[in-house]
Amino acid sequence: MAQFKNPVPTVDCIIELPGDRIVLVHRKNPPLGWALPGGFVDEGERLDVAAVREVKEETGLDVELVEQFFTYSDPNRDPRKHTLSTVYIGRAKGEPVGADDAAEAKAFPVDALPRELCFDHGTILADYLAYKRTGQRRKL
């Protein structure tokens, strides 16, 4: 019988904080660097529930998801394996604290985000900022 290899589902969350800030985490495990909070979806878990769980685990924040933004599926987006990431936009209050597999969590002003980000998170944030400016989503 043939073995099928499928992409692995993940979630990421663009967390908006008051003061026009976005939360990023500095990863504890490779690939190292700044990234959006997120991670792998557990078997039997809904995507939105996974996003809320991952945000809580990595930042300590209780996030309210306000919309599903886009799903990113480039086979090269994660150097470890082919993943599909459904990205949510959420809002939270408070200050993030790195935990779980996040060595650090920090809120950055949207006009001072780090240039070098893990995975395709630079693309995701550029798409998000364009969406906030224009109201238009990424084209397929």
How is the chain split into domains, by residue range? 8-134
**Which residue has 């995975």 as its token pair?**
119
What is the per-residue pLDDT for 13?
Answer: 98
Nearest to 25 by CA among 115, 130, 107, 123: 107
CATH 3.30.559.10 describes domain 8-134: no
Rounded Cα distance between 101 and 134, Å, is: 34
When computed from its CA atoms, the radius of gyration of the chain, rounded to whole angstroms, is 15
Percent above pLDDT 70 for the chain:
99
Mean pLDDT of 66-86: 96
What is the per-residue pLDDT for 139?
Answer: 77
Mean pLDDT of 71-88: 96
**Model-wide pTM > 0.75:** yes
What is the per-residue pLDDT for 38?
Answer: 97
Mean pLDDT of 53-71: 97
| Set 45, 57, 95, 104: catalytic member | 104
Rounded Cα distance between 119 and 39, Å, is: 12
Measured distance between the N- and C-terminal CA atoms of the chain, rounded to whole angstroms? 35
What token pair was written down for 90?
């959420």
- Known catalytic membership, residue 104: yes
